[in-house]
Amino acid sequence: MVRAYQVHRTPASSNTYQNTQPYRAIPQHHAWREHGSRRNRWSMDVERPSIQDDRKYVQRLNHVLQYWNGSPSSHTPSRGGTSTLSKSETAGALHEQSAHASATSHGMPWRSSIDGSYSHEQLFYMPFWEWQVEFMKSTLTNFRGLPVRSRSGRDMSYVESGTSVPTRSSGKPMRMHTCCFASDEYKQIRLTTLDAGPRTQVFTSLWYPNPEYDLPVLGIDLLQFNEKKHLCVVDFQPLHTSENDHTVDRRHVEPRQETLASIRSQYPSLQGSMTKRFYDETQFFSSQMLLARDPPDGSDPTRMVNDELFPAYQRYVETHVEMVQSATPDPSTVPTVLDRHAAYDEYSAARDPAHALLARAFGQDWADEYVYDVLFPLSQK
């Protein structure tokens, strides 16, 4: 169900913000405030009932709430003609159609590379993509496809170097496919596949739970360069400074943390630690993060990916879905969780190392739109 939130300024004598269309009201004791520059994290102050009159802040808050509202076309496929199906049956059929269309657009799943020099029978991370799509279809409620567009309305679902946009990588074929989905459990799940033959293979996915659940997002980043170098990360990324600050009942979350610790302990090759080159591991990363690089003994990383990373990744995805599906939704968390989703997106968009690669391949303007509007849609340029 689409939530109808609209925030506006109350009369001049007041210094609070109110929800004027409270399908589920934002508690009026919540006061939102901006901390520092656009790049800094945002937080909610639940102690003070007033905030500074900050136009930029008001625009940002409305953007966050509008994103949660979405437009009718973003959530419910249009329906034409007549049907003998019930309303729920029709909606279910349309959801299934939209999910199938999103997953199979632009020839996905790709069976060969855009680069003819790529000698493998399948793209390196395509089995992860295929398993995840089938798992989502079979497990999530009201699973449906979403459009992949920038705020300017540009279709960002597919790009190919040298054809879709101006490129600085002529002679080096590269293509990228992005699809987005939603369900009753998840506000958005994004899947991105990049194919540049033997130079680069990438699969990334980001799962945002419905904001009625104050739960970690699930982040997946699997990268291969020159068929030799690998960097693979799978993590329940906490929204708050401390993993223990999520408001969901600890009896609900702690068993999952124990499950993740048990999974991680089985795979020494996935117990790497981050460098500080791009990210601070104390922000939006958990203590049970799976992180894999090339085997230190120089052996073929394919075994590590197939025999260790793949089953661990599957179990992390399954555990995240189990965690969300067993949680009790709490409408009062929506403003706080959307605020933290926005903070996560701001932090990630400002630091994502893929930004430079995309700019070289597809042009700076296209890369800016893609990073800020698609990869991390609550971030601000």
> What was the pLDDT predicted at 281?
56
> What was the pLDDT predicted at 76?
36
**Which residue ranges make up each domain of the chain?**
7-73, 87-375
- pTM to 2 decimal places: 0.74
CB 177, CB 193: distance < 8 Å: yes
- Residue numbers of the chain with a pLDDT score lower than 70: 1-92, 162-171, 241-255, 274-285, 296
> What was the pLDDT predicted at 40?
34
239-278 pLDDT tens trace = 886 555 555 555 556 667 789 999 999 998 898 776 555 4
78-113 pLDDT tens trace = 334 444 556 565 666 777 788 999 999 999 999 999
Name the CATH architecture for the domain at 87-375: 3-Layer(aba) Sandwich (3.40)
Burial class of 198 by CB neighbour count within 10 A (0 to 12, 13 to 18, 19+):
middle
Query: Which residues in 161-186 are b (16+ Cβ under 10 Å) and which e?
Result: bbebeebebeebbbbbbbbbbbbebb
Give dist(CA 358, CA 190) in Å, integer: 17
> What was the pLDDT predicted at 27?
33
> What was the pLDDT predicted at 258?
87
> What was the pLDDT predicted at 151?
94
Give dist(CA 203, CA 127) in Å, integer: 10
> What was the pLDDT predicted at 220?
97
Token representation of residue 91: 């909606």
